[in-house]
């Protein structure tokens, strides 16, 4: 399936999650009416063809009216009327009637992506997500009842975890997301760079996951056979300590993402696959 992502510029997300750096490309006030449809028009004009699936990601929650004005929903739906599937992102506590309003305007199906991050009972509250697992489950149940597909973002090695815990809780979190009805889980290696995460690194309370941890998390989550699992491979070099095997391992992850089938690991004589 051909897919495209449009990153919308809008007001900063109010949730201020600990590990998020998306605030760096946002505005201080709500965009004027019509600005979001204009951004979509501009982005679509850069594409060579119209994709079957379009992702409208806005550095926060699509259903936050301070970010995406409700009055723009009809124009947005008209802009993407060619798409068979439309994906938006949202905080679990904002999933509700606005999702139904958007769904009913679309020509194709709607899928909502929610950041679960981790099901670790002590660490999730420390991420400043301002939701509990019950909120996530309730939002997922609402979407399921309304026949709206759901996908989840899961962190690989969230802050305050060691490498072993990072792997364990990434897989447990994926399992929870699938149990809630997710059809897709995206594994996101936790990155520094937003200020807060860098301070945690200096304090010894966070370190990015090893590339091997991301690889193993993807393998184990795929082996759950409960839905599709994808590893985020953007800027993968920051998780690697070995230039000898990096590109081969990047390609392997890409194939795993596409096929959902486990391949033999890369045998590197330099790093041993760490």
In a domain, 255, yes or no: yes
Decide if pLDDT at 274 tops 80.
Answer: no
In a domain, 50, yes or no: yes
Per-residue pLDDT tens for 80-99? 999 999 999 999 999 999 99
Same domain for 256 and 181 = yes
- Provide the percentage of residues in the chain whose pLDDT is more than 70: 100
**pLDDT at residue number 14:** 82
In a domain, 139, yes or no: no
| Per-residue confidence band for 8, with pLDDT thresholds at 50, 70 and 90 | very high
**pLDDT at residue number 272:** 83
Same domain for 10 and 65 = yes
Same domain for 274 and 166 = yes
Contacts within 8 Å (CB) and 24+ apart, 248-254: 249/211, 249/215, 252/215, 253/214, 253/215, 253/218
Per-residue pLDDT tens for 182-233? 999 999 999 999 999 999 999 999 999 999 999 999 999 999 999 999 999 9
Same domain for 100 and 5 = yes
Same domain for 97 and 158 = no
Per-residue pLDDT tens for 171-182? 999 999 999 999
In a domain, 67, yes or no: yes
Per-residue pLDDT tens for 91-123? 999 999 999 999 999 999 999 999 999 999 999
**What's the predicted TM-score (pTM) here?**
0.94
In a domain, 223, yes or no: yes
Same domain for 169 and 41 = no
End-to-end CA distance of the chain: 33
Same domain for 238 and 123 = yes
In a domain, 146, yes or no: no
Same domain for 271 and 204 = yes
Range of the domain at 18: 1-107
What rounded mean pLDDT belongs to the chain?
Answer: 95
Alpha helices, H only, 115-237: 133-145, 163-179, 196-202, 211-222
Same domain for 56 and 172 = no
Decide if pLDDT at 60 tops 80.
Answer: yes
Tell me how many domains the chain contains.
2
Same domain for 273 and 160 = yes
Q: Within its chain, how far is the Cα of 262 from the centroid?
A: 22
Same domain for 122 and 52 = no
Same domain for 120 and 234 = yes
In a domain, 134, yes or no: no
């Amino acid at each position: 399936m051909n897919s495209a992502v449009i990153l919308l510029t809008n007001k900063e997300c109010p949730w201020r999650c600990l590990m998020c750096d998306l605030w760096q490309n946002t505005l201080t006030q709500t965009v004027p009416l019509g600005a979001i449809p204009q951004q979509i028009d501009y982005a679509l004009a850069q594409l060579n063809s119209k994709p079957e699936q379009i992702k409208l990601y806005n550095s926060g929650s699509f259903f936050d009216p301070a970010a995406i004005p409700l009055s723009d929903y009809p124009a947005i739906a008209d802009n993407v009327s060619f798409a068979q599937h439309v994906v938006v992102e949202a905080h679990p506590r904002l999933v509700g009637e606005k999702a139904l309003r958007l769904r009913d305007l679309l020509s194709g199906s709607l899928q909502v992506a929610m950041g679960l991050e981790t099901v670790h009972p002590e660490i999730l509250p420390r991420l400043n997500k301002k939701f509990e697992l019950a909120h996530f489950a309730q939002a997922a149940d609402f979407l399921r009842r309304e026949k709206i597909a759901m996908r989840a973002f899961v962190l690989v090695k969230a802050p305050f975890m060691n490498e072993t815990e990072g792997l364990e809780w990434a897989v447990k979190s994926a399992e929870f997301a699938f149990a809630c009805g997710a059809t897709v889980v995206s594994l996101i290696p936790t990155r520094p760079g937003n200020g807060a995460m860098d301070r945690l690194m200096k304090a010894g309370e966070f370190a990015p996951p090893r590339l091997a941890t991301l690889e193993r998390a993807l393998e184990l989550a795929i082996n759950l056979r409960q839905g599709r699992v994808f590893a985020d491979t953007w800027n993968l070099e920051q998780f690697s300590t070995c230039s000898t095997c990096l590109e081969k391992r990047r390609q392997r992850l890409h194939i795993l993402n596409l096929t959902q089938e486990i391949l033999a690991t890369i045998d590197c004589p330099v790093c041993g696959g760490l």
